[in-house]
Amino acid sequence: MPSSRALRQAALLVLVAVLGMLAACDRSAPPSPSAVASASAIACAADEIEASGINGSVVDSDGNPLDDILIQIENLGGFRGTARTAEDGVFTAPGVSGEFVIATVDIGYDSVTQRVTVPCGETIDVELVLTPAGG
């Protein structure tokens, strides 16, 4: 049986994906039967949204994975989501496309911010390297 932490992480990822699709709907575009909401101003087809996302890893300056790091994902359209890294330093944000700012939050490490663009139908890989706070 999965741990409660794993279940919480899975539920959070599903929530991030659903919020991404709902919060970033391009209301200025004419309705399209094949268009689905995305976190970008460009309407993506349903299969493109499903295939879009961010796969990320968070490591220290020696390349060691960092677990339990809070990841904040935001775009200019008002979409906000969060994820946490797993024991292997990995986080995911499935079902999002558009331009985002990804930021890390952890009391033991300096924050890192990175801008990314996720094209419709693509999944991008991101590596964030953290340094100890005050280091």
Instruction: Give the Cα separation of 68 and 85 in Å (integer).
Output: 5
State which fold the 4-130 domain adopts.
Answer: Immunoglobulin-like (2.60.40)
44-88 pLDDT tens trace: 888 888 899 999 999 999 999 999 999 999 988 888 999 999 999
Query: Which residues, other chains included, contact 62 with Cβ-Cβ below 8 Å and sequence gap of 6+?
Result: none
* pTM value surpassing 0.85: no
Report pLDDT digits (tens) over 124-134. Answer: 999 999 999 98
Rg of the chain over Cα atoms, rounded to whole angstroms, equals 15
Q: What is the DSSP letter of 52?
A: -
Q: In this predicted model, what pLDDT tens digit does every residue of 13-24 receive, in sequence order?
A: 444 444 444 344
Residue 13, both tokens: 């990822």
